[in-house]
Amino acid sequence: MTDERTPRDRRTAGRDFEVDLDDVLDEDGDEEDGLFDNLLSGEPIFENKEVLRPSYTPDELPHRTDQINNMATILVAALRGETPSNILIYGKTGTGKTASAKFVSQELQKTSQRYDVPSEVQYINCEVTDTQYRVLAQLANTFIEQNRDWIDRRTRELEELHEQAREDPSALLDTEFDDPPDLRERIDALEADRAEMDDVPMTGWPTDRVYNEFFDAVDYVERVAVIMLDEIDKLVEKSGDDTLYNLSRMNSELSNSRVSIIGISNDLKFTDFLDPRVKSSLGEEEIVFPPYDANQLRDILQHRSKVSFKPDVLSEDVIPLCAAFAAREHGDARRALDLLRTAGELAERDQEETVTEAHVRRAQDKIELDRVVEVVRTLPTQSKLVLYAIMVLEKNGVHNINTGEVYNIYKRLCEELDTDVLTQRRVTDLISELDMLGIVNAVVVSKGRYGRTKEISLSVPIEETEAVLRADSRIGDIDDITPFVQARFEN
Ligand SMILES: Nc1ncnc2c1ncn2[C@@H]1O[C@H](COP(=O)(O)OP(=O)(O)OP(=O)(O)O)[C@@H](O)[C@H]1O
């Protein structure tokens, strides 16, 4: 059947929204370049941009061989049916902890399938799943799901065997079953278990009931379960160490299965908050991921760029510059990859054929600005008011602002918003926090016999900061405030 409609008919058929086609068709009704045509027509820079995103797990991780081998040496116990030691993995953000741990898990699962040994890794991101209840419920449901699949497979096998045994009783000779009724009993028992296996709801039960469900689900069949808790410090920060305590003492009570834990953290000090028993059990093995240096980052980018970019689109200095910028930021591979991707996107947007050093510099500014916008947007209201006060002063040409000046404006803002006024001491603390976040720069200077004071300046672009602050509906309502700054006696 041929479609008799014109291209225009086809485009408008079934539309339930209005589009002005004159924007896309010229006066003679011919097609002009549409909104996306221009963007699509440029020679694309990327071969596969997804490869540069954090969600992609590379199958090669340069400069992490030692850590990967170390993990494998510990986890190989699972393939022998033994319990691997628990592992704690430390390292700053972007040092390849998650990528390496996931890589080793995939290899472990592949090998376990090949040798038919039941060992598996369950990954949990504790930034998302951050309470004992949710961790246990998520694990329980994963194992319940697997158990149901296992029962389905097993009952199918046993039904077949039952069929055979009814015709020929010798079919049961080398099995654990005495006769067909014995086998039938086993099938019925499995089906009864299956019927009882309900999911754990994500809220609402007492936590010990969830724990019991999880315990029964893991122990239902023989297996070694490695539980990988990424961002484990977030779990401890939010809900203490009960989950880790419970997981680390399970093995003494399990009959069929074994559990081992891999904890991943970028907070080197988080174990200080753990119960000593949990601390020693969790830290049986510790693996440290040091920051990458510029040369290592260069290798990592080189590997990824081969798959992600078209050939010859990167000018020579692009990768070294991305690596150098990211090495300055505590050797963060995620930052290096973000820079490279953003630089590529900027070149693509400009419809240029090569990515240059200038794109990398612009990408660095853009990423930095995005970070600032995000930090400012999520500040608590009081900190936003303090920052707003500093911004008002700068906008009115005041430099080397002191705390008293910030405090005066801050008080006026609070009055206008009819909100609580914090003490000057507390506001000084908030200024120090803004300093630590890199949003303002506060240096203590000595004023000779006038004592010491803080000189404060904004470290971020003023227009963008104002726009983000004003996007907060309460601050957006503030009328323009002109600071009254006392004459200063400079010495
Ligand atoms: N050696 C490496 N080779 C290739 N890519 C790497 C390497 N190390 C890290 N990466 C990449 O860098 C990004 C960040 O890595 P990853 O998520 O593993 O860091 P992390 O140490 O877990 O950081 P965080 O603590 O912030 O979670 C990912 O895209 C990862 O694929």
410 carries a ligand binding annotation:
no
Statement: residue 6 has pLDDT above 70:
no
195 in any annotated domain: yes
| Residue nearest (by alpha carbon) to ligand 1 atom 17 | 98
144 in any annotated domain: yes
Domain boundary among 314, 347, 374: 374
The span from the CA of 137 to the CA of 199, in Å, is: 9
Q: What's the whole-number mean pLDDT along residues 155-166?
A: 92
Q: Among 50, 52, 67, 95, which is best to mutate for testing ligand 1, by the most ligand atoms less than 8 A from CB?
A: 95
The CATH number given to whatever domain includes residue 399 is: 1.10.10.10
pLDDT band (50, 70, 90) for residue 446 = confident
484 in any annotated domain: no
Residue 478 pLDDT: 80
Q: Which atom of ligand 1 is nearest to the CA of 58?
A: 31
pLDDT band (50, 70, 90) for residue 43 = low
Residue 35 pLDDT: 65
Residue 107 pLDDT: 92
pLDDT band (50, 70, 90) for residue 32 = low
301 in any annotated domain: yes
Q: Which residue type sits at 379? A: L
Domain range for 281 is: 65-289
Cα dist from 183 to 193, 457, 485, whole Å: 16, 80, 91
| Residue nearest (by alpha carbon) to ligand 1 atom 10 | 96
Q: Which atom of ligand 1 is nearest to the CA of 64?
A: 1
Ligand 1 centroid from CA 56, angstroms: 10
Clarify whether residues 78 and 146 are in a common domain: yes
Between these two residues, 488 and 18, which has the higher pLDDT value? 488
Q: Which atom of ligand 1 is nearest to the CA of 266?
A: 25
Residue 180 pLDDT: 87
Q: What's the whole-number mean pLDDT along residues 119-145?
A: 94
Least confident of 168-182, 251-265, 319-333: 168-182
Question: What is the share, in percent, of the chain residues with pLDDT greater than 90?
Answer: 59
Clarify whether residues 346 and 397 are in a common domain: no
The span from the CA of 273 to the CA of 267, in Å, is: 11
The span from the CA of 87 to the CA of 92, in Å, is: 17
- 260 and 78 Cβ atoms separated by less than 8 Å: yes
The span from the CA of 139 to the CA of 217, in Å, is: 9
Q: Which atom of ligand 1 is nearest to the CA of 303?
A: 4
Ligand 1 centroid from CA 60, angstroms: 12
Domain boundary among 374, 392, 412: 374
71 in any annotated domain: yes
142: region left, alpha or beta (phi > 0 left; psi from -120 to 50 alpha): alpha
Clarify whether residues 224 and 139 are in a common domain: yes
CA 97 distance to own-chain centroid: 12
Q: Which atom of ligand 1 is nearest to the CA of 99?
A: 18
83 carries a ligand binding annotation:
no
Ligand 1 centroid from CA 140, angstroms: 28
Clarify whether residues 299 and 318 are in a common domain: yes
Clarify whether residues 284 and 306 are in a common domain: no
| Residue nearest (by alpha carbon) to ligand 1 atom 24 | 93
The CATH number given to whatever domain includes residue 96 is: 3.40.50.300
- 336 and 322 Cβ atoms separated by less than 8 Å: yes
pLDDT tens digits, 455-478: 999 988 888 899 999 998 888 888
Residue 231 pLDDT: 94
Q: What's the whole-model pTM score?
A: 0.76
Statement: residue 77 has pLDDT above 80:
yes
Q: Which atom of ligand 1 is nearest to the CA of 57?
A: 31
185 in any annotated domain: yes
Clarify whether residues 195 and 73 are in a common domain: yes
Clarify whether residues 180 and 309 are in a common domain: no
- 133 and 212 Cβ atoms separated by less than 8 Å: no
SS (H, E, C) the chain: CCCCCCHHHHHHCCCCCCCCHHHCECCCCCECCCCCHHHHHCCCCECCHHHHCCCCCCCCCCCCHHHHHHHHHHHHHHHCCCCCCCEEEEECCCCCHHHHHHHHHHHHHHHHHHCCCCEEEEEEECCCCCCHHHHHHHHHHHHHHHHHHHHHHHHHHHHHHHHHHHHCHHHHCCCCCCCHHHHHHHHHHHHHHHHHCCCCCCCCCCHHHHHHHHHHHHHCCCCEEEEEEECHHHHHHHHCCHHHHHHHCHHHCCCCCEEEEEEEECCCCHHHHCCHHHHHHHCCEEEEECCCCHHHHHHHHHHHHHHHECCCCECCCHHHHHHHHHHHCCCCHHHHHHHHHHHHHHHHHCCCCCECHHHHHHHHHHHHHHHHHHHHHCCCHHHHHHHHHHHHHHHCCCCCECHHHHHHHHHHHHHHHCCCCCCHHHHHHHHHHHHHCCCEEEEEEECHHHCEEEEEEECCCHHHHHHHHHCCHHHHCCCCCCCCCCCCCCC
Q: Are strands 452-458 and 440-446 parallel, antiparallel or unpaired?
A: antiparallel
Clarify whether residues 340 and 442 are in a common domain: no
| Residue nearest (by alpha carbon) to ligand 1 atom 29 | 54
| Residue nearest (by alpha carbon) to ligand 1 atom 28 | 54
Bridge partners of 454, per DSSP, are: 444
- 235 and 135 Cβ atoms separated by less than 8 Å: yes
Q: Which residue type sits at 232? A: I
pLDDT tens digits, 293-328: 999 999 999 999 998 999 999 999 999 999 999 998
Question: Quick one: CA torsion of 442, 446, 452, 458, rounded to 10 degrees?
Answer: -20
Clarify whether residues 246 and 346 are in a common domain: no
Q: For 486, phi and psi rounded to 5 degrees?
A: -65, 150
414 in any annotated domain: yes
Q: What's the whole-number mean pLDDT along residues 399-424?
A: 92
Residue 488 pLDDT: 52
Q: What's the whole-number mean pLDDT along residues 205-233?
A: 94
Q: What's the whole-number mean pLDDT along residues 197-205?
A: 93
- 267 and 71 Cβ atoms separated by less than 8 Å: no
Residue 12 pLDDT: 35
Ligand 1 centroid from CA 434, angstroms: 28
Least confident of 299-313, 367-381, 439-453: 439-453
Q: What's the whole-number mean pLDDT along residues 270-288?
A: 88
129 carries a ligand binding annotation:
no
Clarify whether residues 261 and 355 are in a common domain: no
Q: Return the structure tokens found at 349.
A: 């947007």
Number of domains in the chain: 3
What does R_g of the chain's alpha carbons equal in angstroms? 31
- 46 and 88 Cβ atoms separated by less than 8 Å: no
Clarify whether residues 258 and 398 are in a common domain: no
Provide the greatest CA pair distance for the chain.
Answer: 108
Statement: residue 39 has pLDDT above 70:
no
Clarify whether residues 239 and 268 are in a common domain: yes
Domain boundary among 374, 399, 417: 374
Bridge partners of 141, per DSSP, are: none
pLDDT tens digits, 475-485: 888 877 776 65
Q: What's the whole-number mean pLDDT along residues 225-239?
A: 93
105 in any annotated domain: yes
Ligand 1 centroid from CA 323, angstroms: 14
Q: What's the whole-number mean pLDDT along residues 98-107?
A: 93
Q: Kindly tell me the burial class for residue 167, based on how many C-beta atoms sit within 10 Å of its own C-beta (0-12, 13-18, 19 or more).
A: exposed
Ligand 1 — pocket residues by CB below 6 A? 54, 58, 61-64, 91, 93-99, 266, 300, 333-334, 337
Average pLDDT of the chain, as a whole number: 87
Question: Quick one: CA torsion of 387, 393, 395, 399, rounded to 10 degrees?
Answer: -110
ipTM, 2 decimals? 0.98
The CATH number given to whatever domain includes residue 356 is: 1.10.8.60
